[in-house]
């Protein structure tokens, strides 16, 4: 017997919205049809004419747990995701301790399993731990990175010299290397030149477009020269220069027709689509993140590139800091903005404004991220039969102003205050309602770990991961 029948929904079919019913069995999509004519099921959901799309997969969040849980933890972060229509996240390694070895991985996995209301993958850090990369890959990390080519939050950066060795090691495992591309040398030079500059946009001038362009160029070159080239994914690209270089390298790759080695993808963060340096006047230090805000022309280019397919995915780079921590001079303010809960609402509102089609939004927030990060093999990123019933319900007419007070992150502000959003009226994860439009109704710890392709199991098929029994919860 099916578990759930969803009636009065509308789904995408060949670019058009059509009336539909959705059947769910064992947490997976059983089928979608105009009408099923069945009368036995455990649960009936009346979608009330809502549009239903695959829930978002956010490939870039920093949930600050372990270590800085006053900013966010796995419960608050995952509740924020659920309320924003995200049911899968990849969490990045720059926590305290960082995920750079077995101990760091085990602490994070244990916490996430206890607290997360949504499914999650854990990324492995790459710094001076090249001898540990194979070990954390076997433990089940999703992908490597973000690999910081310049100084950023958490201090996990790597020199260009070591990057080649790391990429070669990652290439050997046929894993994915996610790159935070900013050139450290140019950043340092600009820090010096602009030492006494108090301009509101100084952070964007210390890390100009060229900073990203040089790093992307270097990274592609280093990867080509590596003993074994790795698959590369550039996180939060923010400039036309970087996107053009990546597009060129992608073209070379597809004409070479080789296997996975050297394949390149990239993503953009909502703040590089919907905000620009013009917003510094409104945001001040709240608009500080890495890579920094760009011109409004650059932001317009990024939307075009997302539409045209040059950019493959959107990810929030959710990086919460409290308002009091940001309330300091620009240079000492921490970098990062929250965004996991506003990613889908902003994207859906952009459909309303004809900036993107709904079909493209689904591709860049679910279908593509699932394939880039290897989550499709775990049932993520599609509404086809057999995939996880991870669903986002929304009313396309329900545009509301984004307000920090309505969000579920522990972070007490949003850079999108007052901007248009279309929030989900319901979110399902593996067939369970986890957000009912008013509150998170999911049990803490229901979220499942999504192991990477390198996970090693014992003879019984059980992951080899072992916990140190004595590491304590706070």
List of residues contacting Zn ion (CB under 5 A): 146, 180
Q: Report whether 223 belongs to an annotated binding site.
A: no
Q: Report whether 272 belongs to an annotated binding site.
A: no
Q: Report whether 318 belongs to an annotated binding site.
A: no
Q: Looking at beta carbons only, is 180 or 203 nearer to Zn ion?
A: 180
Task: Compute the distance between CA of residue 396 and CA of residue 160 in angstroms, rounded to an integer.
Answer: 46
Shortest Å, Cβ 258 to Zn ion: 28
Q: Looking at beta carbons only, is 6 or 150 nearer to Zn ion?
A: 150
Q: Looking at beta carbons only, is 180 or 380 nearer to Zn ion?
A: 180
Task: Compute the distance between CA of residue 263 and CA of residue 61 in angstroms, rounded to an integer.
Answer: 23
Q: Looking at beta carbons only, is 139 or 319 nearer to Zn ion?
A: 319
Q: Report whether 146 belongs to an annotated binding site.
A: yes
Shortest Å, Cβ 96 to Zn ion: 17
Q: What is residue 366's DSSP assignment?
A: I
List all residues 6 or more positions away from 24 whose beta carbon is below 8 Å from its beta carbon. Answer: 2, 3, 4, 5, 6, 30, 389, 428, 431
Q: Looking at beta carbons only, is 10 or 180 nearer to Zn ion?
A: 180
Shortest Å, Cβ 236 to Zn ion: 6
Catalytic annotation, pick one of 65, 101, 317, 432 = 317
Shortest Å, Cβ 305 to Zn ion: 19
Beta-sheet pairing, 420-421 with 400-401: antiparallel
Q: What is the largest CA-CA distance in the chain?
A: 72
Q: Is 119 helix (H, G, I), strand (E, B) or coil?
A: strand
Shortest Å, Cβ 200 to Zn ion: 22
Q: Report whether 180 belongs to an annotated binding site.
A: yes
Q: What would the DSSP string read from start to end of 192-223?
A: HHTTT---TTHHHHHS-HHHHHHHHHHHHHHH
Sign of the Cα torsion 290, 293, 294, 297 reads: positive
Task: Compute the distance between CA of residue 175 and CA of residue 412 in angstroms, rounded to an integer.
Answer: 36
302: enclosing H helix or E strand: helix 296-308
Sign of the Cα torsion 247, 249, 255, 259 reads: negative
Q: Report whether 260 belongs to an annotated binding site.
A: no
317 as an active site residue: the answer is: yes
Summarize the annotated binding site for Zn(2+) as residue ranges. Answer: 60, 62, 146, 180, 236, 317
Catalytic residues: 317
Summarize the annotated binding site for substrate as residue ranges. Answer: 62-64, 94, 321
């Amino acid at each position: 017997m099916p578990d759930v029948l969803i009636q009065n929904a509308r789904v995408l079919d060949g670019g058009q919205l059509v009336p539909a019913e959705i059947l769910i069995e064992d947490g997976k999509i059983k089928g979608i049809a105009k009408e099923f004519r069945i009368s036995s099921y455990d649960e009936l959901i009346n979608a009330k004419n809502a549009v239903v799309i695959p829930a978002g997969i956010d490939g870039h969040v920093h949930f600050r747990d372990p270590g800085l849980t006053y900013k966010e933890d796995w419960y608050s972060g995952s509740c924020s995701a659920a309320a924003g229509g995200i049911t899968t996240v990849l969490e990045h390694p720059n926590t305290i301790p960082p995920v750079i070895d077995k101990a760091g991985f085990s602490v994070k996995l244990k916490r996430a399993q206890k607290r997360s209301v949504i499914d999650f993958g854990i990324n492995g850090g790459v710094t001076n731990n090249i001898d540990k990369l194979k070990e954390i890959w076997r433990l089940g990390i999703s992908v490597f990175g973000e690999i910081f080519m310049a100084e950023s939050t958490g201090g996990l950066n790597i020199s260009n010299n070591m990057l080649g060795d790391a990429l070669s090691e990652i290439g050997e495992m046929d894993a994915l290397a996610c790159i935070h591309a900013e050139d450290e040398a140019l950043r340092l030079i600009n820090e010096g030149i602009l030492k006494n500059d108090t301009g509101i946009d100084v952070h964007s001038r210390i890390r100009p477009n060229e900073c990203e362009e040089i790093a992307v160029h270097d990274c592609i070159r280093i990867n080509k020269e590596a003993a074994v080239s790795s698959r590369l994914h550039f996180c939060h690209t923010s400039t036309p220069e970087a996107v053009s270089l990546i597009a060129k390298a992608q073209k070379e790759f597809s004409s070479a027709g080789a296997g996975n080695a050297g394949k390149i993808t990239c993503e953009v963060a909502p703040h590089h689509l919907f905000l620009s340096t013009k917003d510094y006047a409104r945001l001040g230090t709240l608009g500080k993140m890495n890579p920094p805000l760009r011109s409004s022309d650059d932001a317009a280019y990024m939307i075009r590139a997302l539409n045209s397919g040059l950019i493959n995915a959107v990810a929030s780079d959710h990086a919460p800091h409290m308002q009091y921590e940001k309330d300091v001079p620009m240079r000492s303010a921490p970098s990062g903005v929250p965004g996991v809960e506003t990613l889908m609402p902003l994207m859906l509102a952009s459909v309303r404004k004809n900036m993107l089609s709904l079909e493209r939004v689904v591709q860049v927030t679910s279908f593509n991220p699932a394939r880039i990060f290897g989550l499709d093999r775990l049932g993520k990123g599609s509404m086809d039969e057999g995939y996880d019933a991870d669903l986002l319900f929304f009313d396309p007419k329900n545009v509301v102003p984004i307000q920090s007070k309505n969000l579920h992150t522990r972070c007490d502000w949003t850079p999108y205050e007052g901007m248009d959003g279309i929030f989900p009226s319901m979110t399902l994860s593996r067939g369970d309602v986890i957000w009912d439009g008013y509150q998170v109704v999911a049990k803490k710890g229901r979220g499942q770990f999504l192991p990477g392709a390198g996970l090693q199991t014992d003879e019984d098929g059980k992951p080899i991961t072992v916990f140190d029994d004595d590491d304590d919860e706070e």
